[in-house]
Structure 1
Amino acid sequence: MTTRDEILTAIRDHRPASRELPQVPDFRTAADDLIGLFAAALARLDGKTITQPPADLQQWLSQTFPDASRICSAVPETSGTSTPADFTDWAAPADLDVTVVRTPLGVAETGSILVTEKELGVNTVAVLAQHLVVLLDPADLVENIHLAYRHPSFQDATYAVLLSGPSGSADIGGVTVHPAQGVTTLTVILSPREREMA
């Protein structure tokens, strides 16, 4: 028996018995206004929440981003000049003005939205565009990050990212600049998703 084998055998013979990991609480509180909590948290990070969805999303996009010539729509609620399927590689969305996507999950305490490869198609459409517009069903809001990590979208995704407002950077004096890189604006529209009829 080699020295290596002796060491590995000694480790196997003397390892401690396995035991269950401790249960992590979900830290739920009595928060009853998840929408207000979400909007306030997102506003602190220079994001914007629209609580009443526009009657005509296409018209709202035209009015809100009048100079946008390249709009990528990853949702059926509106059309753009492109969809994620039109991009052949990660760098192709580099000159997008606006990306519109639906999130499967919002986190009230942090003002975060989740996007995965399922929603994006090409992951970079969420960070290379100048403006990101996210549709969020209020029913998809959870109170905190502990509950968010238990969401099935995290379990099923290869790529998952929580976004909380446009990117910012603070210098040593505590002055925050928005945006530092990534999207210039992040707007979340509370828009119930269409439910399939049973």
Structure 2
Amino acid sequence: MSSRNAILASLRAAQRTPATLPDVPMFDVGLPPALDRFKETFAQMGGIWAEMPADGDIEALIRTRFTDAKVICSAVPEVAGTQRIEEVRDPHELDDVDVGVVRPRFAVAETGSIWLSEMQYHVNALGYLSQHLVALLDPADIVGNLHHAYHRSEFFAVNYAVLMSGPSATADIEGVLIRGAQGIRSLTVIPATRVRASG
């Protein structure tokens, strides 16, 4: 028997008996209300929670918050913007976007994160070349913790996904925090109910 075969035979002989995976708890006993917790942790990460205006005019709210914005690229039907993401063919076309508008599929209260994939971005660069990102989030889509988040089927249906917690940030050795250092300068969440399929 060659050395190679001897090594492989030893490895095969050392196989453990298959065992079922242990049940992992969801650690959701005593979790605070998801919406309240999300607002708290999202703010800690530098995010901005902006209440829906009484008249429901999201576009006007965005224009009020970002008065100097010339290019508003929207990936949601609720906001027309000045540019539609469906019309973008090359990610480089997003290099002048002042405000990107997206709808996360869900959010995580524990970490103050929103979940986005290529399905929500349409062009992934929207989440990183935009100066500011606005997310329309249905409060009903907030899960309590990461254990619930990682059980969601969306993770298995996409090629790319990100849990985004606030704007880009970095801190140097003296502890000076800079926001927007490598990506978006601000992340704003507006609570907006998602239209759900019937049946």
The answer on whether the counterparts of 2:53 and 2:61 sit within 8 Å (CA) in structure 1 is no
- With 157-166 and 10-19 compared, the bigger mean Cα shift is at 10-19
> Structure 2 CA distance, aligned partners of 1:194 and 1:183?
27
Deviations 1:50-103 (A, max 9, x none): 243561112112211121111111111111222222222333312211110001
Aligned to 2:146: 145
What is the aligned-residue RMSD (CA, Å)? 1.7
1:104-152, CA deviations, whole angstroms, 9 ceiling, x for partnerless residues? 1111111100000111111110111001000111110001111111111
State the 1:197 CA deviation.
4.2
Aligned residues: 198
The range that moved more, 42-51 or 52-61, is 52-61
Partners of 2:19 and 2:160 lie apart in 1 by 31
Partner Cα distance (2:157, 2:34) in 1: 25
SS of 1:127's equivalent? helix
Q: Contact 1:53/1:190 (CA < 8 Å) preserved in 2?
A: no
Q: Which residue of 2 is the match for residue 41 of structure 1? A: 41
Identity %: 42
1:164 maps to 165
Give the alignment's TM-score, normalised by structure 1: 0.92
Unaligned runs of 5+ in 2: none
Q: Report the counterpart of residue 101 of structure 2 in structure 1.
A: 100
Secondary structure, in 3 states, of the residue corresponding to 1:132?
strand
SS at match of 1:115: strand
SS at match of 2:125: helix
CA distance in 1, matches of 2:174, 2:29: 34
Report what 2:185 is aligned to: 184
Please give the alpha-carbon distance, in whole angstroms, between the structure 1 residues aligned to 2:43 and 2:104: 18
1:6 equivalenced with 2:6 (yes/no): yes
Contact persistence 2:135–2:189 (CA under 8 A): yes
CA contact (8 A) 1:53 1:189 kept: no
- For the 8 Å contact 1:167–1:183, the answer to whether it is kept is yes
Cα distance in structure 2, aligned partners of 1:77 and 1:7: 62
The CA deviation string for residues 28-53 of structure 1, in whole angstroms up to 9 with x for no partner, is 13234221111111111111112435
The letter for the 1-side match of 2:160 is Y
